[in-house]
């Protein structure tokens, strides 16, 4: 039986990074993962993020943006495109190629860092002295390994909707939404979170009529509402997404004619039939098959593995990270937790602040934020000041043809310390990093205002918003 210092269960963005960092620190490390490629005939590392989540969705978003630009935006640049057409199967083929490249890259990194990759489903079997025994089930072929430390990084799975079963033919989860080879004429989406908005945007841009049904009465409730309201206006009035809020779904029927959804909206009963329906109502922790109960691994009432502030579970030398524990379900949060746990096992004291973890939605325009929203600050009674600036007068944004959006900086009214940065606009997924850096180093809005920002760049809008927080905006 093989023995390891560290065994990681799960090779998503939390697990594979934890395994690599543990190996770098000198630990004999193995990573157990049951993921397979799209064809189902070979192992595929990377978890949901690389295989059916973050990476493939960004590939489709980029492809759909190019098609939309060729149809609607190129002409104003003097580029005339006649007879432009769209090949959904080719778009999916390109996406699959990117996924294969990156998942294969993880296998290379494991080999480079001397991480042993064990294909199969990992589950707790018990203890042998101070060592945890972990069974690896590779489609019925079982083996056992022992480890001093175990890091659980099993991620999350789509939250099921009791009214209908996902078949990934007509009723789709995130995986099915990423693999459509034809553009549906009418596409329904249940849920206006990150997955719903991104997938709805992809298929709307390439020709689908898209309706998004959201149970919540407000749009993007977790985001700053000034930014959310601007996003809603752009997505609905300018881009043509039909987003219904405050919806109660009563019945869903999947039949030969399509997927029929009966729902209530404002007291009125409505019925819509879609060619395809995406169910995107969130994700839940994945602990199925882990055998947690047998060894007493504690979970909370929502199914998350219970951990303390440093990701320790109730069991000695058993840790848990990423989507399977509390906190935001974000790949970069999982990765940083993975690094932190490996370093804690080595006796180090790494730092991870949930308040400075950025959020991004890769629509067009993009949405990104870090820190507190204005609504949260009001609810907490925090005295604050704010500065805003738009992309409409930014030379770089105008040159790109993407001059919609706003940057908002929130700072403490007395100390000027940055409390939150919120953005909608071009490439704000990249711009938000400056806000994250500022908050990590306890910067003030004046600090950002006094840093020289290159001209012409999109970052000047953040600079201007920081100036505006002190009522000294120069361009607005």
Please report the DSSP string for 47-96 in residue order. Answer: HHHHHHSHHHHHHHHHHHHHHHHHHHTGGGGT----S----HHHHHHHHH
For residues 270 and 399, membership in a common domain is answered with no
pLDDT for residue 476 is more than 80: no
Cβ atoms of 432 and 234 within 8 Å: the answer is no
Choose one of 298, 319, 346: the last residue of a domain: 346
Query: 328 and 366 in one domain?
Result: no
Q: Are residues 273 and 304 in the same domain?
A: no
Instruction: Please give the backbone phi and psi of residue 32, each rounded to the nearest 5 degrees, phi first.
Output: -105, 130
Quick: pLDDT tens for 303-328.
Answer: 999 999 999 999 999 999 999 999 99
- Mean pLDDT confidence for 180-191: 97
**Are 18 and 127 members of one domain?**
yes
Task: Report the CATH number that the domain containing residue 465 is assigned in CATH.
Answer: 3.30.390.30
210, 232, 262, 360, 459 from 370: Cα distances, Å? 29, 20, 37, 9, 16
- Tell whether 65 and 138 lie within a shared domain: yes
452 among annotated binding-site residues: no
Q: Does 465 reside within a domain? A: yes
The residue segments making up the domain with residue 443 are: 359-469
- pLDDT, average across residues 425-447: 98
Does this model's pTM top 0.85? My answer is yes
Of 277, 305, 329, the residue that ends a domain is: 277
Confidence of residue 1 (pLDDT cuts 50, 70, 90): confident
Q: Quote the CA–CA distance of 363 and 13 in Å, as a whole number.
A: 22
> What is the predicted pLDDT for the residue at 283?
97
Q: Is 331 annotated as a binding residue?
A: yes
Residues 34 and 54 in one domain: yes
330 and 420 co-located in one domain = no
Note the pLDDT of residue 257.
86
Instruction: Give the model confidence (pLDDT) of 9-25 as tens digits.
Output: 999 999 999 999 999 99
Residue 476 covered by a domain? no
Mean pLDDT of 70-74: 95
H or E element at residue 339: helix 331-345
Give a yes or no: residue 109 inside a domain: yes
Tell me how far apart the 2 most distant CA atoms of the chain are, in Å. Answer: 73
Cis peptide before 43 (omega within 30 of 0): no
| Annotated binding-site residue? 197 | yes
In this prediction, residue 462 carries a pLDDT of 98
Q: Domains in the chain: how many in total?
A: 3
What is the per-residue pLDDT for 57? 98
In this predicted structure, the answer to whether residue 133 has a pLDDT above a threshold of 90 is yes
**In-domain check, residue 127:** yes
Q: How confident is the model at residue 353, as a pLDDT?
A: 95
Distance of CA 303 to the CA centre of its chain: 20
Same domain, 152 and 247: no
Query: CA triplet 383, 384, 388: central angle to 5 degrees?
Result: 160
pLDDT tens, residue by residue, 140-157:
999 999 999 999 999 999
Q: Is the pLDDT of residue 90 over 90?
A: yes
Known binding residue 192? Answer is: yes
User: Within this chain, do residues 250 and 383 fall inside the same structural domain, yes or no?
Assistant: no
User: Annotated binding residue at 191?
Assistant: yes
319, 312 in Cβ contact below 8 A? yes
Q: How many degrees, rounded to 5, is the angle at CA 170 between CA 164 and CA 171?
A: 35
Boundary of a domain, candidates 217, 251, 277: 277
User: Which residues are identified as catalytic?
Assistant: 455
Is position 329 annotated in a ligand binding site? yes
Residues 198-220 pLDDT 10s? 999 999 999 999 999 999 999 99
199 labeled part of a ligand binding site:
no
Whether residue 256 sits in one domain with residue 136 = no
**79 and 44, same domain (yes or no):** yes
Q: Is 165 a domain residue? A: no
Rounded to 10 deg, the angle between the 428-440 and 459-469 helix axes is 50
Residues sharing a CB contact under 8 Å with residue 271, sequence separation 6 or more, in sequence order: 260, 261, 262, 263
43 lies in some domain: yes
Mean predicted confidence (pLDDT) in 227-246: 98
Is residue 193 annotated as involved in ligand binding? yes
Average pLDDT estimate for 175-193: 97
Domain membership of residue 333 (yes or no) is yes
Q: What is the CATH number of the domain that holds 301?
A: 3.50.50.60
Per-residue pLDDT at 256 = 85
Give tens-digit pLDDT for 365-378: 999 999 999 999 99
167 is in an annotated binding site: no
Reported as a single tens digit per residue, the pLDDT across 156-166 is 999 999 999 99
272 and 288 in a single domain? The answer is no
Percent of the chain with pLDDT over 70: 100
Residue 194 makes CB contacts below 8 A (sequence gap 6+) with 361
Check whether 356 is labelled as a binding-site residue: no
In a domain, 436, yes or no: yes
Q: Is 387 annotated as a binding residue?
A: no
């Amino acid at each position: 039986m093989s023995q390891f210092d560290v065994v990681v269960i799960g090779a998503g963005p939390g697990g594979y990074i934890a395994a690599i960092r543990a190996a770098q620190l000198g630990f004999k490390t193995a990573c157990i993962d049951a993921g397979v490629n799209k064809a189902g005939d070979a192992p595929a590392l990377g978890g949901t993020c690389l295989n059916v989540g973050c990476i493939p969705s960004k590939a489709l978003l980029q492809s759909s943006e190019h098609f939309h630009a060729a149809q609607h935006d190129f002409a104003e640049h003097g580029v005339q495109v006649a007879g432009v057409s769209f090949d959904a199967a080719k778009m999916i083929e390109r996406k699959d190629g990117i996924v294969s490249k990156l998942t294969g890259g993880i296998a290379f990194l494991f080999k480079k860092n001397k991480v042993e990759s064990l294909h199969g489903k990992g589950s707790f079997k018990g203890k042998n002295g101070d060592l945890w025994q972990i069974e690896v089930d590779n489609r019925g072929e079982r083996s056992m390994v022992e480890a001093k430390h175990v890091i659980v990084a099993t991620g999350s799975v789509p939250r099921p909707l009791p009214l209908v079963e996902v078949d990934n033919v007509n009723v789709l989860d995130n995986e099915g939404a990423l693999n459509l080879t034809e553009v549906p004429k009418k596409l329904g989406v249940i849920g206006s979170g990150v997955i719903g908005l991104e997938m709805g945007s992809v298929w709307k841009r390439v020709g689908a009529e898209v309706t998004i049904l959201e149970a919540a009465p407000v749009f993007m409730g977790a985001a700053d509402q000034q930014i959310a309201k601007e996003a809603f206006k752009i997505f609905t009035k300018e881009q043509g997404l039909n987003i219904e809020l405050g919806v109660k779904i009563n019945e869903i029927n999947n039949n030969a004619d399509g997927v029929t959804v009966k729902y209530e909206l404002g007291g009125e009963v409505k019925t819509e039939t879609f060619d395809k329906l995406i169910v995107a109502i969130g994700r839940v922790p994945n602990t199925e098959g882990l055998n947690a109960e047998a060894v007493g691994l504690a979970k909370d009432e929502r199914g998350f593995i219970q951990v303390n502030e440093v990701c320790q579970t109730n069991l000695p030398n058993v840790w848990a990270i990423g989507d399977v524990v509390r906190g935001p379900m974000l790949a970069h949060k999982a990765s940083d937790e993975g690094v932190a746990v490996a370093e804690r096992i080595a006796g180090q004291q790494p730092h991870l602040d949930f308040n400075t973890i950025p959020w991004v939605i890769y629509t067009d325009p993009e949405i990104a934020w870090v820190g507190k929203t204005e609504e949260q600050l009001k609810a907490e009674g925090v005295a604050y000041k704010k500065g805003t600036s738009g992309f409409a007068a930014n030379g770089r944004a105008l040159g790109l043809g993407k001059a919609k959006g706003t940057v908002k900086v929130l700072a403490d009214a007395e100390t000027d310390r940055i409390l939150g940065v919120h953005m909608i606009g071009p490439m704000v997924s990249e711009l938000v990093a400056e806000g994250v850096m500022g908050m990590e180093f306890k910067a003030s809005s004046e600090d950002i205002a006094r840093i020289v920002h290159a001209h012409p760049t999109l970052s000047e809008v953040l600079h201007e918003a920081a100036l505006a927080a002190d009522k000294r905006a120069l361009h607005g």
